[in-house]
Structure 1
Amino acid sequence: MDRAGRHSGRRHRRHRAHRWPILHRGHRGRRTADRHSHSHHHQRRHSVRGQLPVQGSRHHRGLPPAITANPRHAAVLRATRLDQGGTSVSDLLTAPPTTSTSAPVPSPSTWDRIRRYSPPTRFLPVIATFALFIGLFGLGEFRYSGFADPQVFLSLLIDNSFLIVLAVGMTFVILTGGIDLSVGSVVALSTMIAARTLQLGWSPFVVMAVVLLCGTVLGTIMGALIHYLQIQPFVATLAGMFLARGLCYMIGVESIPITDDTFSSIAFAVIELPGGYTITWSVVIALVVVAVAMYVLACTRFGRSVYGIGGNEASALLMGLKVAAVKVGVYAISGFCAALAGLLFSFYALSGYSLNAVGMELDAIAAVVIGGTLLTGGRGYVLGSLVGVLILGAIQTFIAFDGTLSSWWTRITIGVLLLLFVVAQRLMTARRR
C-alpha cells in the first residue's frame, strides 16, 4: 500500500471507492486516482457506523470523543441555578419581555454634590494658597476695621503689579526645574536704562522697546549658557545678577528722576471702577500678562512642553520635544518679564536707582512656591503665583494696619510660610510616589 509498510487491509487510509486498492510497487503518490466510484477492489473498507463513507482520516486522529452532558445531571444543575436565583440561557431566550416597575432613583441635591466633590490632587496647592489668602483677609477684618474693603484689595494689586509680572516669568522658569536669580537686578537695570535714556531725550516708546529688548537678550544668553554649556541655573543666573547690578552702577550710583510726560501720565492715570474704586494701568498690564501666561501654559504646545521638561527632561527629549528651544525660551520670557516689571516699577517710583529691587528675586521665588509651584518643576499654575503675590502683599498690609510691628516681621512671616509650603510639597510628592 502507498507509504505504509503493512498489510493493505488495515484501515489507516481511506479511498473514495469502497475497497482499498492494491498498488504496484512503483506508485508512490499520496493516494490513487480512482477510475470511478464503482471500481472493484480486492480489499473492502469498513465504514463508520451511522456515517457515509468519506475520504480522509476522520476518526483516526487519536483524539477522544467530545463528552456530552448527562441529561439527569443537566436537569439537576439547571434546578440548582434556579433555586439560587440564577437564570438559564434557555429561560432568557423564551421568557417574555418584562417592564421595570421600580421607582426612579432621585438625583442628588446641589449641596450633596458640593459635599461629595473631591478636587483633583494637582489643584490642592492652589486651593490651599487661596484658602490662606481668604483666611488672612478674614483675620485682618476681625482685628482691624476696614481691612476687607475692596479698595484695600485693589491697593494690593497696585502696590505689587511689578512683582506679579516678575512672578509670572519666574513661574515659567521654575516649571522647567530651573531658577533665575537675576530678575531683581534686571528690574533695577531696566529702571536705570529708562531713566538715563529719558534724561538724554529719547522717545519714551523707544525707551520702552529698548528696555524690553535688553531684558529679553540677557535672559536668552543665560538660557543658552544653561542648556548648551550645561551650566547650573543657579550659577548662570547668579552671574547674570552680578552683571546686571554692575551695569546699574556703571550707569550711575545716584537716583535719576524721571520727568517725562508720558511716563508721568501713565503713572498717575487711574481707571474708575463701579462703586468709586480705582486701579492703575500697571494693574491692567499685570493682569493681561497673567492671562496670556495662563493661556500659553494651558493651551499651547510650548506650555505643554514646559510641563513635560519639568516633569522629566530625559523623557521629554525621547518624546521629541524641542528641549533646547523651550529651555532657552523660558529664560527669555523671564528676562522679558523682568524688564517689563522694571518699567512698571519706573511708573511706580518715577525714578531709576541702582539699588532698586534688592532681594526682589527672592520675593518672586517665595510667591511662586507659596502659590503651589513645585521647586523641582513639572507642576504649578500662574494663577497660584498671582495669589502668592497677594499673600505677600496681605502680610505687609496686615503689619501696616497694626502699626506696632516692625517691618522685619514681614520677612519672618514669609520665611515661615515658605518653609511650611515647601515641607507640604515634599510630603505630597513622597506620598504620590
Structure 2
Amino acid sequence: MSTTLDVERPTRSPRLRPRLNLAALPTVAAVVILAIMLVYGELAYGKIFQLNTLSNLFISNSYLIILAVGLTFVILAGGIDLSVGAVVAFASVSGVMLVNAGVPSVLAMVAMIAIGAVFGLMSGVLVQYFNVQPFIATLAMMFLARGLASILSTAPERLADDSGFRTLSDEIKLIDGPKLNDLVITPNVVIALLVAAAGFVLLHRTRFGRTVYAIGGSEQSATLMGLPVARTKVWIYVVSGTCAGLAAVVYTSKLGIAQNITGTGWELDAIAATVIGGTLLTGGAGYVLGSVVGALVLGLMNVLITRDGSIPAEATTIITGVVLLAFVILQRAVTHARRRT
C-alpha cells in the first residue's frame, strides 16, 4: 500500500508595493503648492519666512479658515452652500447693532452664531425634507440673508474702539523677534484653529463624520446600511451656518465695521479653499486640514500679488480661477483613477 505524501510547496511572498492613496493626492498637491509659493516668495521678494509674515497670514485669513471648515462638511456630503457670505453680512450687522444698543458683547456674539445656525437649519430642512436642490436652497438663503442685512442698515455700522467685542482681535506676542519680526497671535486665530481641530475630530473620530463620508460616497448605500442620513444631511448645513456666524464674529471684531455688503463673494472663496485643499466636489473624499491649507494658499497668493506690485488687484480672481480649475481637473483625474482601481 503506497502512501502519497503531500509536500507543501513554499509560496512566494507577494511583493509589498506602496499603496497610493489617490483620495489624498489633491491635498498633497495643495501642501506642495503652498510650499512652492513660500519658497518662491522668499526668493523673489524676501521676508516671507519671517515670523510677522506668517502671523499676519493666519490673522488675516482666520475667518476664511472657519468658513472653509464649514463648507468641507457640506461638500464632503455632495452638497453646496452659497449662503455663507450673505449670512456673515446679516450676522455682522445684527451683532454690531445689538452691541450699539447696549447688549453685552458676549450675548451679541452668541446671537450672531445662532443666526448662522438658524440659516443653516433652514437650508438643511429645504434640502432634506422638501427635496430642494442644495444650489437652489442655499441660493434662496443667500438672497434672504443679504436682503435682511440691507433692511437693517445700508450704512456702515461701527463698533466703539473700546468695545469688548474687539478684544478678540488683540494681538498676543508669543516670540519677541528682532525689530518688528514678532510671532503674534490673536484670539481670532485661536478660534479658527480650534474650529479646524473640532472639525477634524468630528469627521475622523465620530459616527457623524463617518456618516458624512458615507453620504458623499453613496447616499443610497448609506441609507441601506442604516445610517442616519436624513438627520446628518440637516446637521451638515447647521455646521456650515454656525461656522458662518462664527466667521462673522471673527471678522467683525477685527475690522470693527459691519456692512450689508460684507461677505460678497466669500462663499466662492470658501468653496475654492475647500476644493484646493483636496475635498472632491463629488463628495466622499477630503480633509478639514486640507481646507485650512487651501485657505492659506489663497491668503498667501494675495500676499505675493501685493508684494509684486505690478500685478493688478483684479488679476487675483483670475489667478484664483486658474488655480481652482487646475485642482478641479486634478480631482476629475483622481476620480477616474479611483473608479478604475
Relative to the length of structure 2, the TM-score reads: 0.92
Which residue is equivalent to 2:170?
268
Which residue is equivalent to 2:337?
431
The CA distance in 2 between the partners of 1:190 and 1:203, in whole Å, is: 16
Which residue is equivalent to 1:355?
261
Residues 383-402 of structure 1: per-residue CA shift (max 9 Å, x gap): 00000000001110001111
Match of 1:217 among 118, 130, 136: 118
Instruction: Give the secondary structure class of the aligned counterpart of 1:147.
Output: coil
Which residue is equivalent to 1:422?
328
The CA distance in 1 between the partners of 2:223 and 2:175, in whole Å, is: 48
Which residue is equivalent to 1:227?
128
Q: Does 1:176 align with 2:176?
A: no
Equivalenced residues, count: 327
Which residue is equivalent to 2:11?
none
Q: Does 1:254 align with 2:155?
A: yes
Q: Does 1:132 align with 2:3?
A: no
The CA distance in 1 between the partners of 2:251 and 2:277, in whole Å, is: 22
Give the deviation of 1:121 after TM superposition.
Answer: 2.4
The CA distance in 1 between the partners of 2:158 and 2:18, in whole Å, is: 55
Q: Does 1:384 align with 2:290?
A: yes
Residues 179-200 of structure 1: per-residue CA shift (max 9 Å, x gap): 0000000111111011111111
The CA distance in 1 between the partners of 2:304 and 2:166, in whole Å, is: 30
The CA distance in 2 between the partners of 1:206 and 1:233, in whole Å, is: 31
Relative to the length of structure 1, the TM-score reads: 0.73
Q: Does 1:409 align with 2:305?
A: no
Which residue is equivalent to 1:34?
none
Give the deviation of 1:119 after TM superposition.
Answer: 4.7
Give the deviation of 1:320 after TM superposition.
Answer: 0.4
Which residue is equivalent to 1:309?
215
Residues 66-96 of structure 1: per-residue CA shift (max 9 Å, x gap): xx66xxxx9xxx9xxxxxxxxx669x9xxxx
Structure 1: gaps spanning 5 or more residues: 1-67, 79-87, 93-112
Q: Is the 8 A contact 2:75 2:280 kept in 1?
A: yes
The CA distance in 2 between the partners of 1:316 and 1:356, in whole Å, is: 38
Q: How do 1:46-195 residues align onto structure 2 when only pairs under 5 Å count?
A: 119-195=20-96
The CA distance in 1 between the partners of 2:212 and 2:271, in whole Å, is: 18
Which residue is equivalent to 1:198?
99
Q: Does 1:328 align with 2:230?
A: no
Q: Does 1:239 align with 2:143?
A: no
Q: Is the 8 A contact 2:168 2:254 kept in 1?
A: no
Match of 1:277 among 172, 179, 183: 183
The CA distance in 2 between the partners of 1:344 and 1:379, in whole Å, is: 28
The CA distance in 2 between the partners of 1:269 and 1:144, in whole Å, is: 26
Q: Which amino acid aligns with 2:102?
A: G
Structure 2: gaps spanning 5 or more residues: 9-15
Instruction: Give the secondary structure class of the aligned counterpart of 2:185.
Output: strand
The CA distance in 2 between the partners of 1:271 and 1:119, in whole Å, is: 41
Which residue is equivalent to 1:41?
none
Give the deviation of 1:273 after TM superposition.
Answer: 3.3
Instruction: Give the secondary structure class of the aligned counterpart of 2:327.
Output: helix
Give the deviation of 1:281 after TM superposition.
Answer: 1.1
The CA distance in 1 between the partners of 2:253 and 2:206, in whole Å, is: 32
Residues 145-178 of structure 1: per-residue CA shift (max 9 Å, x gap): 2122232122111000001000000000001100
Residues 270-292 of structure 1: per-residue CA shift (max 9 Å, x gap): 24236431111111100000001
The 1:89/1:190 distance shift into structure 2, 3 A limit, reads closer
Greater helix content: 2
Q: Which amino acid aligns with 1:418?
A: L
Determine which structure has more spread, i.e. the larger CA radius of gyration: 1
Q: Is the 8 A contact 1:367 1:389 kept in 2?
A: yes
Q: Which amino acid aligns with 1:331?
A: Y
Which residue is equivalent to 1:106?
none
Instruction: Give the secondary structure class of the aligned counterpart of 2:281.
Output: coil
Which residue is equivalent to 1:293?
199
Task: Using the aligned pairs only, state the percent identity.
Answer: 43
Q: Which has the higher contact order (CA 8 A, sep 6+)?
A: 2
